[in-house]
Amino acid sequence: IIDRSGFNRKVYAANFLKTMREKAARLHARFPAARKAFSLETLAKIDTLGELDDNIIAPLFGFKDRWDYYRQSDSLPYLPKIQVPHYLLVAADDPFFCPHTLPGAADVACGTVRIDYSPLGGHCGFVES
């Protein structure tokens, strides 16, 4: 879903990729570990956020690939362990997440997390349509 065509890819992802390419190039220049993790040639060819995660983020931080990065970075397993009251507002149209991966009532059965769903809201308030 993160790399689907349309407004998200043309506007949000394009702007985000631009800033991430600049940051990755600075890392590459400053740190030998970054130079070992990826090449500037690879960086220049990246066209999607998924490609960025596969070719820059995953190798730089020791993940096998983007799917390993997503799995290990997932906060869902931690929701039931939250002990301090939290409010979680989830936008169903977040372009970064498939709807079936969003937390549900069973994920917050601990009682300390209140979850509400909005049909719109995008990613961090970035609305697609």
So what's the pLDDT on residue 90?
Answer: 86
Print pLDDT tens along the chain (129 aa): 566 666 666 677 788 899 999 999 999 999 999 999 999 999 999 988 899 999 999 999 999 999 999 999 998 999 999 999 999 888 888 777 777 888 888 888 888 999 998 888 877 765 555
Q: What is the pTM of this model?
A: 0.75
So what's the pLDDT on residue 30?
Answer: 96
DSSP code per residue over the chain: -TT-SSHIIIIIIHHHHHHHHHHHHHHHHH-HHHHHH--HHHHHH--SHHHHIIIIIHHHTT-SSHHHHHHHH--GGGGGG--S-EEEEEETT-TTS-GGGS--GGGGTTSSEEEEEES--TBTTB---
